[in-house]
């Protein structure tokens, strides 16, 4: 009887020790998981901070806006009258040309090169000619082709945007934006003021220099905004795919009589 009592006691102690060992093991595993998770979080925070530092130093980003929705305080967005027109090419229709009538009855003409099926190459910088009031504006406007199109047709689009406001605040304004192939998913945009049948190039005023063009995300990542006082802003977006940073860089440019002047740069954060 005594032996049985002591044996039972030993078994209880043994089971208790096993329970303690299991508990310690579980705590150790959970602690390791928490440590690993914290390490990943810290690494993510460091990477985000490093990206933010690079954005600030490289692109002059002044602040970060969480999930920016395209709204600029005090401004309304003016939507495009013509927005990157799209066409479908076939064996029977392998050339694109188009015409629009703008304010004052002036004609905007698009003429793209004839494309043979065998010549279609992804991201190949085909160039179109654009004329305004019979004057050649550019002959290298980006003509994008997507050779893996739907069915027997090949989708294409042209880097051409026109803002032709009809509201009473800025109805006298008409803007033409043309994009040229810079490389990969980047366009060089050129902004023109259309007035009295003339197309005037508006340079970008940046760091005390006047630049004829500015780089944006393809295709034509721009927007035009205005307020009740008649002030106008052009907004551009650029994402550095090589650096693969946290998000695009947004710039606000104020439209003046002779230039677009940079007013603000900010980054978009999703975290």
For residue 58, the model assigns a pLDDT of 62
Q: Higher-confidence residue: 145 or 9?
A: 145
Query: Mean per-residue pLDDT for 259-264?
Result: 95
Say yes or no to pLDDT of 53 above 90.
no
Which tens digit of pLDDT belongs to each residue from 163-187? 999 988 999 999 999 999 887 778 8
For residue 220, the model assigns a pLDDT of 87
pLDDT range class, residue 57, cuts 50, 70, 90: low
Spell out a b/e string for 14-24, using b for 16 or more CB atoms within 10 Å of the CB, else e: eeeeeeeeeee
- The tokens 């677009």 sit on which residue? 260
Which tens digit of pLDDT belongs to each residue from 208-219? 899 999 999 877
For residue 44, the model assigns a pLDDT of 52
Query: Mean per-residue pLDDT for 137-163?
Result: 84
Q: Higher-confidence residue: 219 or 86?
A: 86
pLDDT range class, residue 156, cuts 50, 70, 90: confident
Say yes or no to pLDDT of 69 above 80.
yes
Spell out a b/e string for 94-129, using b for 16 or more CB atoms within 10 Å of the CB, else e: bebeeebebbeebebbbbbeebeeeebeeeeebebb
Q: Higher-confidence residue: 59 or 53?
A: 59
The pLDDT > 70 percentage for the chain reads 69
Say yes or no to pLDDT of 109 above 90.
yes
Query: Mean per-residue pLDDT for 233-241?
Result: 85
Q: Higher-confidence residue: 59 or 198?
A: 198
Say yes or no to pLDDT of 10 above 60.
no
pLDDT range class, residue 40, cuts 50, 70, 90: very low
């Amino acid at each position: 009887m005594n032996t049985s009592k002591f044996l039972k006691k030993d078994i209880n102690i043994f089971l208790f020790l096993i329970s303690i060992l299991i508990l310690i093991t579980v705590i150790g595993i959970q602690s390791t998981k928490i440590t690993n998770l914290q390490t990943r979080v810290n690494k993510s925070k460091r990477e985000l901070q490093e990206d933010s530092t690079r954005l600030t130093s490289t692109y002059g980003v002044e602040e970060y806006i969480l999930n920016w929705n395209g709204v600029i305080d005090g401004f309304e967005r003016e939507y495009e009258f013509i927005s990157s027109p799209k066409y479908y090419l076939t064996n029977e229709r392998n050339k694109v040309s188009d015409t629009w009538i703008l304010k004052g009855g002036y004609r905007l003409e698009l003429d793209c090169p004839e494309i043979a099926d065998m010549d279609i190459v992804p991201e190949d910088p085909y160039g179109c000619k654009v004329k305004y009031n019979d004057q050649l504006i550019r002959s290298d406007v980006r003509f994008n082709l997507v050779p893996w199109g739907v069915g027997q047709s090949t989708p294409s689009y042209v880097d051409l945007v026109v803002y032709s406001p009809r509201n009473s605040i800025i109805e006298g304004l008409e803007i033409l934006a043309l994009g040229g192939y810079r490389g990969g998913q980047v366009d060089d945009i050129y902004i023109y003021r259309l007035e009295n049948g003339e197309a005037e190039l508006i340079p970008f005023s940046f760091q005390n220099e006047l630049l004829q063009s500015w780089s944006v995300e393809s295709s034509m990542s721009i927007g035009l905004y205005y307020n009740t006082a008649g002030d106008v802003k052009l907004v551009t977006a650029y994402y550095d795919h090589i650096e693969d940073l946290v998000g695009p860089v947004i710039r606000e440019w104020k439209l003046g009589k002779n230039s677009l002047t940079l007013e603000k740069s900010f980054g978009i954060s999703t975290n």
